[in-house]
Structure 1
Amino acid sequence: MLQDKFTKEIKEGYNFEGSSVVLGGAILNGSPVKDLQVNIPLKTINRHGLISGATGTGKTKSLQLFVEQLSLSGVPSVVMDIKGDLSGLAQPGSTNKHVVFRNDAIGLDFNPQGFPVELMTLLGSEGVKMRATISEFGPVLLSKMLDLNETQSGILAVLFKYSDDNLLPLLNIEDLKEFLKYSINEGKENIKKEYGQLSSNSINTILRKLIALEQQGGDKFFGEPSFDVNDFIYTDKDQKGRISVLRLMDMQDKPKLFSTFMLCLLTELYATLPEVGDSNKPKLVFFIDEAHLMFKNASGALLDQIEVIIKLIRSKGVGIYFITQNPSDIPEDVLGQLGLKIQHALRAFTAKDRKQIKQLSENFPVSPYYNISETITELGLGESLITCLDEDGKPTPLVHTLMRPPLSRMDILDSSEIKDCIDNSLIYNKYNQDIDSESAAELLKEKIKLAQNQSKKDDRLAAEMKKAGQKRKVNSTKKEESFFDEMSKNTMVRQVGRTIFRELTRGLLGVLGVKK
């Protein structure tokens, strides 16, 4: 009787008019309910979501099968691969007794296959290089990235304006470093005339923070050619959506660069893509693995910006999914924006853990079939609690789910397979070239060189003029001395001189009233 009621409720709750993707099968009282599938509507996937659970509970496999199902539905996706275990999406999977059991319980056939995968990299590992220019980042986003205060942010905005007005392209970190040095040395007076006095101390602070970012690998990220986010949106000849795997294995110790990079991508997507309103399926879905890195050490301003983008970007047909160990890794304001929740097992080793799990259970719809706080700790490998939004935007009933197995390889590619994947890339040659455009660094160095040469010329001219003046003075003195010497030798001159002197003396004495 209970199972009949449960089956009816799940069938009604997960019965959608439009297209949907199957994630698994329902479980009641610890056993799968035959052919009772748990699917989610494509229409609400742009309402964002969360995949969470302790290490080793199956989060990555849930992510993998979700991405596969989207690809089969013609929806491209972008996957952050922090641990390096998602490249296997490019190759067909294999079967075993566990795969057979799951598919039989869920009522699915197993058709192993590989998917169109584009391997990408941020800091130089194998794959398509993703870069952006400093100018494209702009002063606002760069200020958030460097965690500048209001005064420093204002100065950076002024310098960006000056660079635009004076045609000084800021492409990479070296450009900005040279520009900052120029602004407190050779270019100080020029900038002061146009925009007022800028604090040298503040500029030096910005420079120090920029160097710290450079040491995190920012010098490899900033530059040309910059990535066009429209290249994420692609379906192949079989109408499978491309899966862009961003290989970020070297980003775990660079949280600020990671979070700002993600924000830059999302901001660029929001600025580039047109509004789509309510569509039948998303245009693109972003999966951010190890999502706590995105929020770790992020400034308040950066977190505010992330929250704003998440609220707005779904109108562009983009869904964002966070994958992390504990939902508490995600700020509450962001967590409140997430429509789909796939919760794998959490472990209650301490009183604090049990308290957290109890609070977490309150975020799920109330269910008469599960004690949520207990079920979360008892979930087996590859099992989860799922709730999503239906096509009207209402939460679906909570359901304990046996996740379906991925169709692609549940392992990584070897070096030869990675090479084949890169060789077959449609965009590798577009981005894996180094473009050395004339930019601010070169232009400023030329300006500084010209200024230094002019200064040297001015110094030489001043020295020559000084030398010439001294020579003229010496010559004039010598001429005067030789003139008087010559005149003193002339008898008539001496006589005239004595006569003039005598008459002057008389006149002076007469004025004073002295008798002669």
Structure 2
Amino acid sequence: MAGVVDGTANTIFVGGAGQDHAVPQALLLKYANRHGLIAGATGTGKTVTLQTLAESLSLAGVPVFLADVKGDLAGMAQPGSGDGTHHQAFADRAAQIGLMLDYQAFPVTFWDVWGDKGHPVRTTPAEMGPLLLSRLMGLTEAQEGVMNIAFRVADAQGLALLDLEDLRALLVWVGQNAADLSLQYGNVGTTSVGAIQRALLVLENQGGDRLFGEPALELADMIRQDASGKGMINILAADRLMTSPRLYATFLLWLLSELFEQLPEVGDSDRPRVAFFFDEAHLLFDGAPRILVEKVEQVARLIRSKGVSLWFVSQNPADIPERVLGQLGNRIQHALRAFTPKDQKALRMAAENYRPNPEFDTADAIQHVGIGEAVTSLLEAKGVPGIAQRTLIRPPFSRMGPVSDAERAELISASPMGLKYGRTIDRDSAHEILARRAAGAATAQGQAPADDAGLFDMDRREYRNARRSEPREDIQPPRGRSSRSDSIVETFGKSLARQLGTKSGQAIVRGVLGSLLRGR
């Protein structure tokens, strides 16, 4: 096989199957958006599999997003080398499965929440919404209720929540007016407000404040092709982000909700519009409330019609909730170890998800496949799961491993995304509006205006700005993003809106994962 993407059959070459690994094992592009699973113990080859699938999708013109947890996927921006460490092993493997090694670089855009190893990734509290923010900060049910009230008040009074200063100022106002708000929205405990403020401080100290601000990320800047027609490979530097697992999981869940909200229906297309790989996928569900898991399940089921391919990467299929796992039609299972009774049970459960192959025992194969080999089951014609195959995964065309700091810096400086996301914007929002209200009220009563720095913690703003690599600018361009509603409402958000007590025609659920309730 000379290439990876067969233009006639519109397939992606995954590897060689059969006893001698000479039988091509391919994934039909039209079924690539039926979602997939890449699983296996540490060191069994999951990263190479992820890299080769991302390469193949890019060659087919499909943009890709992936999280670089260990820092070794950045090498996709550079071509592989005939004299590299793995070259001989890859050359032997390519010959065995009938693949011509075509070393090449791929179009890569680097992203980083902290802005150190890529372009900054930002969103706003308004877009993330109270449910995800509550999970991010580990709030109790009562504190989450106060957070929902605060967001409702922000909508009702036209207070844009664009960064953590805005949210902090709003919570101060909510605490000061707790008695009046309790009559309208239910109990607002000042103790809960204080607890939320402390959680915000912890989040800020962990660097979470870097995630909030403007300009907020536009998904269109990820879902694009380069001049040659290759899909852009978006790599999120997640090695540092992984030290805050809750922040990592919340960011990925927010990204999933944004995908569902913004992308239009396309039905059954001949290839995905975009493919997302969620590495360390178990973090998406660890400690997540039931309603959040249910929404992820619903999105996994419904987002296929929007042309989105979701791939969950984890050590064990048991890390993924069963109803989410049931949506993953394409499966690549690297070796699982079974040293304990619990491991043996997980191994049996993993094997039960495959169509049996009479030539081998699936559970035994999963336990004994070698590095770079996997038990695969890919959707065939009419979406039927393929019979389990022992497959030798094809070697990558791009470099395996990290890039140097100089190479990364050169790629970042050459990217057009730097002009858009390189500098932060600080426009008029809740913090400034509430400060002006407080000053106006004090003036009307013949008192000296309140000290804004004391009331809304302006010193913290200066502290945050000092931590940013670029100075903030006081410009106020019209963006229209500060209170955007989610298209998920038309699909299944109405029932959740009723549960949360929203009034028809006045407020709708923002975001598939329980984002801001926005007044119409």
Q: TM-score, normalised by structure 2?
A: 0.80
Give the residue type in structure 1 aligned to 2:348.
Answer: K
For residues 198 and 456 of structure 1, the distance between their equivalents in structure 2, rounded to whole angstroms, comes to: 30
For residue 155 of structure 1, report the CA deviation from its aligned partner.
3.6
Look up the SS of the partner of 1:184 in the other structure: helix
Give the residue type in structure 1 aligned to 2:149.
Answer: V
| 8 Å CA contact 1:117, 1:245 repeated in 2 | yes
Aligned to 1:69: 56
Q: Residue by residue, what CA displacement relative to the aligned partner does 1:88-141 show, whole Å, maximum 9, x if unpaired? A: 000000233212211111111111000000000113322111111111123344
Aligned to 1:39: 26
Aligned to 1:208: 198
Give 5+ residue unaligned stretches, structure 2.
1-5, 450-520
Structure 1 ranges of 4+ moved more than 6 A: none
The reply on whether 1:436 has 2:426 as its aligned counterpart is yes
| 8 Å CA contact 1:26, 1:399 repeated in 2 | yes
Aligned to 1:289: 279
For residue 154 of structure 1, report the CA deviation from its aligned partner.
4.3
| 8 Å CA contact 2:30, 2:272 repeated in 1 | yes
| Larger CA deviation: 450-459 vs 129-138 | 450-459
- Cα gap change, 1:274 to 1:192, in 2 (>3 Å): same
| 8 Å CA contact 1:43, 1:279 repeated in 2 | yes
Give the percent of matched residue pairs that are identical in Structure 1 and Structure 2.
Answer: 42
For residues 206 and 415 of structure 1, the distance between their equivalents in structure 2, rounded to whole angstroms, comes to: 38
For residues 185 and 318 of structure 2, the distance between their equivalents in structure 1, rounded to whole angstroms, comes to: 45
Q: Residue by residue, what CA displacement relative to the aligned partner does 1:157-180 show, whole Å, maximum 9, x if unpaired? A: 332232233232111112111111
Match of 1:347 among 334, 337, 340: 337
Match of 2:215 among 225, 228, 239: 225
The reply on whether 1:136 has 2:127 as its aligned counterpart is yes
Aligned to 2:452: none
Match of 2:303 among 313, 319, 329: 313
| Larger CA deviation: 59-68 vs 436-445 | 436-445
Look up the SS of the partner of 1:50 in the other structure: strand
- Cα gap change, 1:194 to 1:364, in 2 (>3 Å): closer
Match of 1:250 among 240, 243, 247: 240
| 8 Å CA contact 1:18, 1:280 repeated in 2 | no
For residue 195 of structure 1, report the CA deviation from its aligned partner.
5.5
Query: Based on CA coordinates, which of the two structures has the bigger radius of gyration?
Result: 1
For residue 404 of structure 1, report the CA deviation from its aligned partner.
0.8
The reply on whether 1:235 has 2:225 as its aligned counterpart is yes
The reply on whether 1:24 has 2:15 as its aligned counterpart is yes
Q: Count the aligned residue pairs.
A: 440
Q: Residue by residue, what CA displacement relative to the aligned partner does 1:191-245 show, whole Å, maximum 9, x if unpaired? A: 5687576332333333333333333332110111100111111111211100000
| 8 Å CA contact 2:178, 2:189 repeated in 1 | no
For residue 309 of structure 1, report the CA deviation from its aligned partner.
1.6
For residue 43 of structure 1, report the CA deviation from its aligned partner.
0.6
Match of 2:378 among 388, 394, 401: 388
Aligned to 2:43: 56
Aligned to 1:114: 105
For residues 380 and 65 of structure 1, the distance between their equivalents in structure 2, rounded to whole angstroms, comes to: 17
The reply on whether 1:397 has 2:387 as its aligned counterpart is yes
For residues 224 and 405 of structure 1, the distance between their equivalents in structure 2, rounded to whole angstroms, comes to: 40
The reply on whether 1:156 has 2:143 as its aligned counterpart is no
For residue 190 of structure 1, report the CA deviation from its aligned partner.
6.7
For residues 97 and 64 of structure 1, the distance between their equivalents in structure 2, rounded to whole angstroms, comes to: 19
For residue 445 of structure 1, report the CA deviation from its aligned partner.
2.2
Aligned to 2:323: 333
Look up the SS of the partner of 2:114 in the other structure: coil
Look up the SS of the partner of 1:457 in the other structure: coil
Aligned to 1:5: none
Give the residue type in structure 2 aligned to 1:45.
Answer: A
Match of 2:171 among 180, 198, 201: 180
Aligned to 1:84: 71
Aligned to 1:166: 157
For residues 49 and 346 of structure 2, the distance between their equivalents in structure 1, rounded to whole angstroms, comes to: 23
- Cα gap change, 1:25 to 1:198, in 2 (>3 Å): same
For residue 456 of structure 1, report the CA deviation from its aligned partner.
5.5
Give the residue type in structure 1 aligned to 2:41.
Answer: A
| Larger CA deviation: 377-386 vs 111-120 | 377-386
Give the residue type in structure 1 aligned to 2:424.
Answer: D
| Larger CA deviation: 256-265 vs 69-78 | 256-265
| 8 Å CA contact 2:178, 2:190 repeated in 1 | no
For residues 319 and 415 of structure 1, the distance between their equivalents in structure 2, rounded to whole angstroms, comes to: 31
Give 5+ residue unaligned stretches, structure 1.
1-14, 460-516
- Cα gap change, 1:195 to 1:281, in 2 (>3 Å): same
